[in-house]
A and B are shown apart, each in its own frame.
Chain A
């Protein structure tokens, strides 16, 4: 019985949150990795793109709520998501036209793109602060839990409870749908194949008549969809605060690099790897140990490897290890 309780505690505090967080990171890292594969630079504005998309969705949600529209048990934000994606896509295509296209024609070095993306980040950050402010915004509505801790306890008769929030369930389901759709698109459609060809070998792709501007355009649209979805899911799960989205940049980059930049499967694996390590390392295992170990062996401390304030250190540590021992990532990535 004790072992069961220990597993439930672990699931409640580590496995369920890490799965949701991992799905959010994976979606973010997919966006970074696609830009890297097609446009060949690390986009520092990605965190703020997520914040922008989430912001538009929040504004849409508020609009729908004031009209009295709701999805019943599901959050209204899901209805507003397509709006967020569309506006973000327009913004990204606009920045591409105004900023990045010039450097593409110049065949600029990758680091110039990175600096330009810093400028874009500044502007997006300013826009988000300008429009919605710097404060926390909560926009989740509908049913809060799929299973609440109390229901779980009465259902199973166990001492410990397991809570699964709606936002966590939605995150995982949405992430699966998005990833399946993305892989179908990249693997089966003509446009997707031309994107992969462009990513593999630009010159060869141009020779075979692929229109680079079209590939770039579609990439930005997909990136807008991925970033907005990731941003909205993260905001539903935790809360929306522009600065946290900027800070997500590090775990997202770490996920993309761990998996191998430019490799979509790697980005997903990397997202989950980073999420699980971050939460495992910063979780206090005292209650788990309390169920497994006999009375006399009980630990005095929290059994926490690292305080939660250092969760960035986990992404960074993994990043350093990967860079030291396998710079192209666990899955084969590009190294330009």
Chain B
């Protein structure tokens, strides 16, 4: 571990103060809710920092990787729907295998067959035949599954395993998507990766919105199992009542705070584990190699480093961390709402966190995660207050006043954009710069 600088302790102290003052002035429930999402944001920022800070890779598909992590939470933790499995489960699996087989066969033809017209014709033949077979299997299976009690289920359900297992699975899902993008777009110019990630994110979210058999689409999945106890159970148990009494707290409020604290404890364990791993990686020979590649690709290539392979590796790792955080976030929410995955909220906000916090520095990314998330939540009430102050002298019925107060909600985007630009211009190394 590196030496801890007093400045950094001050910065973290300042952010802690923000949360504590939220607790005193608003409520501890609110403060903890912001803190828990801050933890998730910090993990996402860590993941993005691996890609940008260690390797200089520009990923604008964070929202997509977050969303597949959320899907993993559903697929792992929700109980299976036996009727739906009986109706079309095996057929759906065969359809998926047929789809994968078609792609594998196409790649096989392309790489093994001799160049020329015959290869192109064979490739097209494989793709068309594969597509027809896939649709013939897939369509009836989908209709059968979605037809089973559509108001309540209408999907295959999950595996019914503990939800904590979904976190690494979410990481794996995101890693798979990242590998696909990285394999195509890395090694080309830097903007191409950005555009390709933008695309994969849109597609992943479109899949989650439309494939009802997989995750119920826009009908949402609610009531995900929790890794922590339910408030009601706590309120009915005698030990908890005794604990609340001895602390002199209201049982209902305390139960909700207790649940939030349990989540926070779980998340802190994950965050600390990840920070430890990333610090080890950053200071290992591997980390030095990554930074060497980032700072001078040509000389690193001359030293015999395979730049594209290293980039692919770190891109997949970073995306996996984002996927992990996505699964954690869905667990925290207790529901999967595909329409809530807005690129402005996820992708670009996480970028502001990394740039403001300090790219290339893990602690910086974590600090940025907490600070920006707190601001994102609080800018809205602050903006509203500001607008009310500005318009206080106006006629309460005036349309301009109503307009200004209504639009205070959009102040967040403006503020975040200004933050990003100011940091990038005047302090491009961030609040906690890389050494």
Chain A positions within 8 Å of B, measured between CB atoms, are 41-42, 44, 99, 102, 109-112, 114-116, 118-127, 129-131, 133-134, 246-247, 249-250, 253-254, 257, 301, 305, 307, 309-310, 312-313, 315-316, 319-320, 323-324, 327, 335-336
Name the contact of A122 in the complex, choosing from B189, B194, B344 (C-beta under 8 A).
B344
Is B109's beta carbon under 8 Å from chain A? no
Q: Which residue of B lies closest to A256 (CB)?
A: B195
Of the stretches B150-158, B167-175, B202-210, B251-259, the one at the interface is: B202-210
Please name all residues of chain B whose beta carbon is closer than 8 Å to the beta carbon of A310 when the two chains form the complex: 203, 206-207, 210
Is B196's beta carbon under 8 Å from chain A? yes
Q: How far is the CB of A89 from chain B (nearest CB, A)?
A: 20
Please name all residues of chain B whose beta carbon is closer than 8 Å to the beta carbon of A250 when the two chains form the complex: 195, 198-199, 202
Please name all residues of chain A whose beta carbon is closer than 8 Å to the beta carbon of B164 when the two chains form the complex: none
Q: How far is the CB of A286 from chain B (nearest CB, A)?
A: 14
Please name all residues of chain B whose beta carbon is closer than 8 Å to the beta carbon of A42 when the two chains form the complex: 191, 194-195
**Complex formed: what's the CA distance from A254 to B200 in Å?**
13
Q: How far is the CB of B382 from chain A (nearest CB, A)?
A: 15
Q: Which of B60, B192, B209, B418 has the most CB of A within 10 A?
A: B192
Chain B positions within 8 Å of A, measured between CB atoms, are 56, 58, 60, 131, 139, 184-185, 188-192, 194-196, 198-200, 202-203, 206-207, 209-210, 343-344, 348, 351, 355, 406-407, 410-418, 420-421, 424-425, 428
**Complex formed: what's the CA distance from A127 to B424 in Å?**
20
**Complex formed: what's the CA distance from A218 to B188 in Å?**
30
**Complex formed: what's the CA distance from A83 to B198 in Å?**
32
Q: Which residue of A lies closest to B410 (CB)?
A: A129
Instruction: Tell whether, in the assembled complex, residue B424 and residue A323 are in contact, meaning their CB atoms are under 8 Å apart.
Output: no
Pull 19 A–B residue pairs with CB atoms less than 8 Å apart, ordered by A.
Answer: A102-B425, A111-B191, A114-B58, A114-B190, A115-B58, A115-B424, A116-B424, A118-B348, A119-B421, A120-B421, A125-B413, A126-B414, A130-B410, A250-B195, A254-B195, A301-B139, A309-B209, A310-B203, A316-B196
Please name all residues of chain B whose beta carbon is closer than 8 Å to the beta carbon of A123 when the two chains form the complex: 413-414, 417-418, 421
> 18 more A-B contacts (CB under 8 A) besides A122-B417, A125-B344, A316-B196?
A99-B425, A110-B191, A111-B191, A116-B421, A119-B418, A120-B421, A121-B348, A130-B411, A250-B199, A254-B199, A309-B206, A310-B207, A319-B195, A319-B196, A319-B199, A320-B199, A323-B184, A327-B192
Instruction: Tell whether, in the assembled complex, residue A253 and residue B190 are in contact, meaning their CB atoms are under 8 Å apart.
Output: no
Q: How far is the CB of A47 from chain B (nearest CB, A)?
A: 11
Q: How far is the CB of A281 from chain B (nearest CB, A)?
A: 12
Instruction: Tell whether, in the assembled complex, residue B407 and residue A44 are in contact, meaning their CB atoms are under 8 Å apart.
Output: no
Instruction: Tell whether, in the assembled complex, residue A316 and residue B203 are in contact, meaning their CB atoms are under 8 Å apart.
Output: yes
Q: Which residue of B lies closest to A95 (CB)?
A: B421
**Complex formed: what's the CA distance from A99 to B417 in Å?**
12
**With contacts A118-B351, A123-B417 known, is A249 near B198, CB below 8 A?**
yes
Name the contact of A312 in the complex, choosing from B195, B199, B412 (C-beta under 8 A).
B199
**With contacts A130-B414, A133-B407 known, is A335 near B189, CB below 8 A?**
yes
Q: Which residue of B lies closest to A124 (CB)?
A: B417
Please name all residues of chain A whose beta carbon is closer than 8 Å to the beta carbon of B355 when the two chains form the complex: 115
Q: How far is the CB of A41 from chain B (nearest CB, A)?
A: 7
Q: Which residue of A lies closest to B191 (CB)?
A: A42
Name the contact of A121 in the complex, choosing from B139, B200, B417, B418 (C-beta under 8 A).
B417
Please name all residues of chain B whose beta carbon is closer than 8 Å to the beta carbon of A320 when the two chains form the complex: 184, 196, 199
Q: How far is the CB of A97 from chain B (nearest CB, A)?
A: 13
Instruction: Tell whether, in the assembled complex, residue B190 and residue A110 are in contact, meaning their CB atoms are under 8 Å apart.
Output: yes
Shortest 10 CB-CB contacts between residues of A and residues of B: A122-B417, A126-B413, A126-B414, A123-B417, A316-B199, A119-B420, A129-B410, A42-B191, A119-B421, A312-B202
Q: Which of B139, B185, B199 has the most CB of A within 10 A?
A: B199
Please name all residues of chain A whose beta carbon is closer than 8 Å to the beta carbon of B411 when the two chains form the complex: 126, 130
Instruction: Tell whether, in the assembled complex, residue A122 and residue B200 are in contact, meaning their CB atoms are under 8 Å apart.
Output: no
Please name all residues of chain A whose beta carbon is closer than 8 Å to the beta carbon of B424 when the two chains form the complex: 112, 115-116, 119
Q: How far is the CB of A127 from chain B (nearest CB, A)?
A: 7
Please name all residues of chain B whose beta carbon is closer than 8 Å to the beta carbon of A122 when the two chains form the complex: 344, 348, 413-414, 416-417, 420
Please name all residues of chain B whose beta carbon is closer than 8 Å to the beta carbon of A99 when the two chains form the complex: 421, 425
Q: How far is the CB of A308 from chain B (nearest CB, A)?
A: 10
Please name all residues of chain A whose beta carbon is closer than 8 Å to the beta carbon of B210 when the two chains form the complex: 307, 309-310
Q: Which residue of B lies closest to A252 (CB)?
A: B195
Q: How far is the CB of B399 from chain A (nearest CB, A)?
A: 13
Instruction: Tell whether, in the assembled complex, residue B195 and residue A257 are in contact, meaning their CB atoms are under 8 Å apart.
Output: yes
Q: How far is the CB of B129 from chain A (nearest CB, A)?
A: 14
Q: Which residue of B lies closest to A312 (CB)?
A: B202
Please name all residues of chain B whose beta carbon is closer than 8 Å to the beta carbon of A115 when the two chains form the complex: 58, 351, 355, 420, 424
Q: Which residue of B lies closest to A42 (CB)?
A: B191
